Chains A and B, each alone.
Chain A
Amino acid sequence: MNAPSAPKAANKLKSTRMAGKLVNDYWEMVWRAKEEGKLVCWYEGSSINPFLEAADIVWVHGEAYSAMLAARHQEGPAQAAAEERGYMRELCSYARTHLGCAVNNQRHRNESDSAFSGVPDDEDISAKLPPPDMIISAYAYCSTGQQWDEMTSRLFGKKIPIFNVSIPWIWASGKDAGYLRGQEWQETSKYVAKQLEEMVKFIEERTGKPYPWDRLRELMRNVKRASELRLEAMDMCTARPAPATLFDWSVSIAPINQLPCTTDIVDYFTNVRDEVAERVRTGEGAVPKEKYRLFFDGIMNWNKLGWLAEKFARYDAAVVAGRYTHMAFWQEPDLIDPNDPVMGMGQNYLICPNNHSSPILIDLIMGLCEKYEVDGIVFHATRTCRAFTNPMHMIAETAQKRLGIQTTMFEGDVADESFYKDELLNTRVEAMLEAIDARRMVMV
């Protein structure tokens, strides 16, 4: 196994730089919302943003805000505020960070009500988040998502209307059960779609206007196209060397997950697809001396994104796919009919990867490992996200038995750096790569 080589080994896609600007523009829009007299909706989990955007409601995705704070290393004040109110460190750090923003927001409001100087520090962007006028909870699989929304509503004194969409876990019961098929899938899809129709009525009550369905159709046309382009580009990464890695796809989550669904996102993924195609044509790899190909199982460690990209690249390891990036975010564009989008949207919410029980989930992951011809799986045991860690041991065992590939685990977290242990990651990854080398020697 190679020791970490020269600095700056990761050859990131250039086209993804645009994401930074789009993301900044989006948050600027969020921060201006109240000045512009816009209604604001807080939500987590499922990408219900097109429903809101169509109705001219400004949408705030809780995870995205927490991830943004963590990526900018500005999560501290929000997490401290949450802790002060009693939210314990073992709670989902996305939720904790976002609840901390709510605590800060309430605190500043109360302090200014009492003529106390409550103006937030300019640097503290956790306090810039506009308070919600409504909350919509539509979280697949993870009970934390729903509780997080409920607790947000309670933090605001239960004065903010809240709407719950229940998204049942796909247990895969019955002989006909499988990915996107079977009675359970059909019934659950209808159940979710029905609730989304009710959610639209809730939105109409808030805006006082009839719901602009045409606008939603237009937005979903863009989403569908952006998703197709993203998947097309991802598919091209079966090439050796891989033209892009999980870290490029992580940077590209915001454009598919919560940025405005305008033609900008179509342009973004067109550029990404074109750059990836060009790299395939010229044989340019995202990790120049690609020697290992890995699958990354777990949610991204946002405080460590650039750091991890570099680290793996220095090991000449291309992380070619992952559960978080490759199995979520409008993952099945074929299900979306832009002329009648609700059912397909609901179905895409249902296939959040964690929302499949292990028989389906594990088959899908094994399929990706085979498709991308990976040598091993790195598990990021995200300390405060049990939704992701739940099946990890089962996935690892199956990968070893069924595919005969190496696996390793390291502890970290989505937005709380204190859980990350660099030394552990180094030794574990090195041991895994050594094992891969040893296996290759035997097979030669």
Chain B
Amino acid sequence: MADSNALDQLRAVSSDPMGYARAWKERTGGLVVGSFPMNFPSEMVHAAGALPLIVQESDEPITVGHGVLFPFYCGFTRSTVDQAGRGDLDVLDAIMFGDHCVQLLGAADAVRVQLPNTRVIFFQLISSMCDPWTFGRARESFQKLRSELEDFLERPVEDAALHASIALFNRNRQLIRTLYAARVDGRARLTGSDMQAIVKSSMVMDKQDHTALLEQIVAALPSAPVPIEGKPVRVHLSGHFCQAPKPELLAMIEDCGATVVGDDLYHGYRYISTDVPEGIDPMDGLARWYMDRNTGVPCPTRVQNDVDWDAFLLSAMRDEAAEGMIVLMAKFCEPHMYYYPEVKEAFERAEVPHLLIETEHETMALEHLRTRVESFVEILRRRRGAPRTQKSTVEGEAA
């Protein structure tokens, strides 16, 4: 990667989001508004002049959180209540969310009790995506959130400011998508962790500053593909909602002879897949964005009978010339577990190999996983020359 300085700055923010928020607050005297993943439009907070920050899973082991949520919850929710209990979320002046997963609702409910002095604003987004009233309801929900934000900040969120924020956020997403495209065509040699640092820092940093760094990174891209040693297998990473997969896991995958050419991770392409339409009423735009992103990159936390996540994955992999898919599933993530059999069957039918890896907040037996990833990479290598006759179940799926 040519502009390593800019990338280093993004890596630093990504590894310490709350540290960044505290420093930003000290520097600007502004308010920081946290939000829960995965569908809150941070543009609104930005337009109000505050710093929007998507709450991240922390690396810390769970301590006080044990007394709030049971151990059979996903790492993101357990880590969030743990952070709240330890005072790590105190830098947030308010928290907003509008999502739907039952574990997330549980965490939000607990956080409100844990942080009595922090305003926690909620309005549940409709998660049934193809009803005649979905658009209207989504718009109404965003309007409610906007009004509550205005009430909290004691100032209006002006349409003009919202238009400007939408344009800035769109630019930011477009730049990251440029990097995604450059990774597919070989001009950008970005590791999985690099890409994660780019996206995760975008969820945390001042958008203007983040965009400026992205401009530098994109400007430094070479015009032709960078030659690569050996011929690593091209993989697509799928899944992992709400929380970022651990960088050491991504590094291990690449270390086994794979190169990540695409993903639909929330801390990846899912986050930047879709722009908010400009030139229309901004609230209409946000509601449209909410719906478009599920058509663009279907999410198992929503229900939409006329789009298929499995079909999306197969098509994305064709575009990326990916040879196999590694599914990263956060342990106890129910939405993912419900949809997984559909993906598994579709991939078996299409004879595209995939490997399922369940990730955990606390410990992951990386050495054991390494053996499985190595075998998977080996299978993908062997397929290169072989005609497509073997069944992908034998080859890939390794739940």
Contacts and interface: CB of A to CB of B under 8 A. Distances in A.
Nearest to A195: B133
A256 to B, nearest CB: 24
B148 interface: yes
A168 B124 contact: yes
B164 interface: no
A88 B327 CA distance: 15
The list of the 6 closest CB pairs from A to B, nearest first, reads A390-B106, A86-B341, A164-B128, A150-B303, A168-B124, A147-B338
B337 A387 contact: no
Given A146-B128, A166-B127, A386-B103, A90 B305 contact: no
Contact of B334 (A144, A154, A358): A144
B303 A173 contact: no
B340 A143 contact: no
A141 B102 contact: yes
A402 B394 CA distance: 57
Contacts of B338: 87, 91, 95, 144, 147-148, 150-151
A119 to B, nearest CB: 25
Contact of B127 (A146, A153, A358): A146
A307 B262 CA distance: 53
A181 interface: no
A149 B127 CA distance: 13
A179 interface: no
B383 interface: no
Interface of A: 85-88, 90-92, 95, 137, 141-144, 146-151, 153-154, 158, 162, 164, 166, 168-169, 171, 173, 191, 195, 198, 357-358, 381, 383, 386-387, 389-394
A26 B19 CA distance: 61
B69 to A, nearest CB: 7
A163 to B, nearest CB: 9
14 contacts: A86-B399, A88-B337, A144-B338, A153-B305, A164-B128, A166-B131, A168-B124, A173-B122, A198-B132, A357-B112, A390-B102, A390-B103, A391-B109, A394-B109
B344 A86 contact: yes
Contact of B131 (A164, A387, A392): A164
Contact of A386 (B106, B305, B340): B106
Contact of B124 (A86, A144, A150, A171): A171
Contact of A358 (B109, B128, B132, B148): B109
Interface of B: 67-70, 72-73, 100-103, 105-106, 109-110, 112-113, 121-124, 126-128, 131-133, 137, 148, 300-301, 303, 305, 331-332, 334-335, 337-342, 344-345, 399
Given A166-B127, A169-B124, A358 B339 contact: no
A400 to B, nearest CB: 12
Contacts of A91: 334, 337-338
A351 to B, nearest CB: 16
Contacts of B103: 386, 390
B303 A164 contact: yes
A143 B112 CA distance: 20
A88 B340 CA distance: 9
Contacts of B123: 171, 173
Contact of A394 (B100, B110, B339): B110
Given A171-B123, A386-B73, A386-B106, A158 B305 contact: yes
B131 A390 contact: no
Contacts of A387: 102
A143 B337 contact: no
A151 B109 contact: no
A141 B124 CA distance: 10
A143 B68 CA distance: 20
Contacts of A158: 305
A171 B133 CA distance: 21
A393 B148 CA distance: 29
Contacts of A389: 70, 72, 106
Given A166-B127, A173-B122, A389-B70, A87 B341 contact: yes
A358 B113 contact: yes
A90 B102 CA distance: 14
Interface centre among A147, A150, A151, A158, by most chain B C-beta atoms within 10 angstroms, is: A147
Contact of B148 (A149, A166, A173, A390): A173
Given A173-B148, A386-B73, A151 B342 contact: yes
B300 A391 contact: no
A42 B8 CA distance: 54
Contacts of A169: 105, 122, 124
A335 B95 CA distance: 34
A322 to B, nearest CB: 19
A195 B133 CA distance: 9
B305 A150 contact: yes
Given A85-B345, A95-B338, 17 more contacts: A86-B399, A90-B334, A137-B128, A143-B100, A143-B101, A143-B335, A147-B338, A150-B303, A158-B305, A166-B131, A169-B105, A173-B121, A357-B112, A358-B113, A386-B106, A390-B110, A394-B113
Contact of A357 (B109, B131, B341): B109
A147 B335 contact: yes
A141 B106 CA distance: 10
